[in-house]
Amino acid sequence: MSIERYIRTIPDFPHPGIMFRDITTLFADPDGLRLAIDQLVDKYQGQSIDYVAGIEARGFILAGAMAHQLGAGFLPVRKKGKLPWSTIERSYQLEYGEATVEVHDDAAKPGDRVLVVDDLIATGGTAEAAIGLIGQLGAEVVGAAFVIDLPDLGGADRLRDQGIDVFRLCEFAGE
C-alpha cells in the first residue's frame, strides 16, 4: 500500500508556489500511521540501534514509535532553548534566516549507534545539524530516515555526500 495516499498536499502554503506536504493526515489515520512506522522500522530491524533521534516536532512522533519498536531509546533534537539540561547546539541556514537545534550534552556517548528521523527532508539543513550534533557527542549515525523526500531540493543527496545512509518512504517532485 502506498504512503502517498495518506499525505495531503496544500498548494501555496506557506508561500505562493510551494506545495506543502501535510503528514497530519497520515498521522490521523490509524492504518496510515501503522504503515509508515512499520515500513520505517522494517528497514532498521536488527541493526543494534541504541537511540532513535527525532527532530522537533513531527520527527518526535515517528522516532518515539520507532524507538519503542526497535527497543531503543529516544533522543530529542530540539529547537534552541527547549531542553532543561546542559546542551550543545548547532545552527543552520533557512530560506529566511538561521535556526538552531540542540541536544543534551549527555544524550549519547562514543560508540552509541543513532538513527536520525524526521517527517521530511528538503534542503537537509536541519538533518545535517542533527547529524553534526550526534557526531559531536562521539556517537555513530547509522542512517537518516524520512517519510517524505523532496529530491529537487537536494537534501538527501547532501547527506549521502557526507556518507550518511538515507532512507525515505516516498518522494514528491518540486518544492
Which amino acids are annotated catalytic? 58, 95
Count Cα atoms within 13 angstroms, Cβ side, for 30: 0
Residue pointed to by grid coordinates 555526500 = 161
DSSP state of 171: E
In whole angstroms, give the CA distance from residue 111 to residue 173: 37
In whole angstroms, give the CA distance from residue 137 to residue 163: 18
Closest by Cα among 134, 135, 167, 146 to 59 = 146
